[in-house]
Amino acid sequence: MTYLVDDKLQDWLERCLWGKLEGQRYGEMSLEERELNKARPLRFEERHGCLKQKQRLDVLPTPYLSTVRLNSTYLEMVGKFYEAKGFLTVVMLVCVMMGIGFVGGGGVLAYMAVSENDFVVLVIAIFATLLAAVTLLASIWTFFRECFRLTHFPIRLNRKLRKLYAMDPYLLKVIEADWDKMVFVLEKCLHAPMRITQWEILGHVLDEDGQTVRATLPFSFYWPDEGSVKQHWEYMRRYMEEGPEAIMDHTPVCLPLHEGKESFGFGYRMVMHHHVFFIWAIIATPLIFVEALGRYLAMQTSDIPRWSKRIEEECQIDPGDPYAIDANDNPPDFWKATAKRRSELEASRGLPR
């Protein structure tokens, strides 16, 4: 697999489209320090306001449709951008079609201006065509940032070795870190489509000095209610600190991503699930269908992520492991089981999604 390198244009586009609010998150930090994957000092509030690996929270551990595999050796989950995959594809396809139309129209206008010796119209046509061409190229480039990449960005927590492995969603490289030496924090981000400030979990990988952030990993779940995000953190924390038995009953289903790509029907239900408000989901059904088509295209053109042979050897599952489950062990009705768990959460504390 060819790994794509990071650059400033990619970072800016992803922050705008996916909701990275630099000013709100980083305050007075410099631009260089704001890059998620560039070394920077660990902030005071990150060090002293972080989520503690050894501190049990009095909340219900909840996966929120993120678990891919669970066993006594490791817990594998999807990373950020999985649930919203497809939206960017649709938007960029629309931009590409509009860009082609504007480039073609500008070319025709320029030809007519030359024929009639109209210098002013010619200058306007050339400027408009160049602007449309730049927009078209940027849209095509951005389209390939979601399609022809990976179906999801997995995160694997190895309980036996106390390690975290993750596919960096920006650099497409594997992040490997010591679970006990990482710093986990709740940070605010901005969900761009609805302009709603939300919370997310970030995992900071530190250098040997324990003070410098070497890499930052975003996790899958984000929501306006801070308490709901803590439920997701507690799901991961209890697995690593208390074992698979602590979260087994809280894992009704596993996402069917380990051995293949999701079907169109499953992707459509995921898009419906992403639109939390039921009334809105009904009203926007045509738009949801289009988004599901974009998701299917993005999934089918992307590769299934694979761990290296060394990592797989470090994550060997014990024969006869009673806690080993994946999509093959799902109940017959995936979404019914999910809805049942949803009702249980609503009864216990209130549900984000």
Are 158 and 126 within one domain? no
Are 44 and 111 within one domain? no
Measured distance CA(9)–CA(120) in Å, rounded = 33
Q: Determine, yes or no, domain membership for 283.
A: no
Q: Is 286 exposed, middle or buried (0-12, 13-18, 19+ CB in 10 A)?
A: exposed
Measured distance CA(304)–CA(243) in Å, rounded = 28
Q: What are phi and psi of 42, to 5 degrees?
A: -70, 130
Whether residue 75 contacts residue 248, with contact meaning beta carbons closer than 8 Å, is answered with no
Q: Determine, yes or no, domain membership for 352.
A: no
Are 74 and 119 within one domain? no
Are 94 and 243 within one domain? no
Range of the domain at 323: 27-79+154-261+302-347
Are 256 and 129 within one domain? no
End-to-end CA distance of the chain: 35
Q: Which pLDDT score, from 0 to 100, does residue 25 have?
A: 37
**What's the whole-model pTM score?**
0.80
Q: Which pLDDT score, from 0 to 100, does residue 7 have?
A: 42
Are 66 and 103 within one domain? no
Are 94 and 223 within one domain? no
Q: Which pLDDT score, from 0 to 100, does residue 13 have?
A: 46
Q: Determine, yes or no, domain membership for 95.
A: yes
Amino acid at site 194: M
* Below-70 pLDDT ranges, the chain: 1-38, 190-196, 275-282, 342, 345-353
Q: Determine, yes or no, domain membership for 159.
A: yes
Tokens 């939206």 locate to 87
Q: How many domains does the chain have?
A: 2
* Torsion (CA) 336, 338, 340, 345 in degrees, nearest 10: -160
Measured distance CA(288)–CA(274) in Å, rounded = 10
Are 105 and 249 within one domain? no
Q: Determine, yes or no, domain membership for 119.
A: yes
Q: Determine, yes or no, domain membership for 244.
A: yes
Measured distance CA(326)–CA(329) in Å, rounded = 6
Are 96 and 124 within one domain? yes
Amino acid at site 216: T
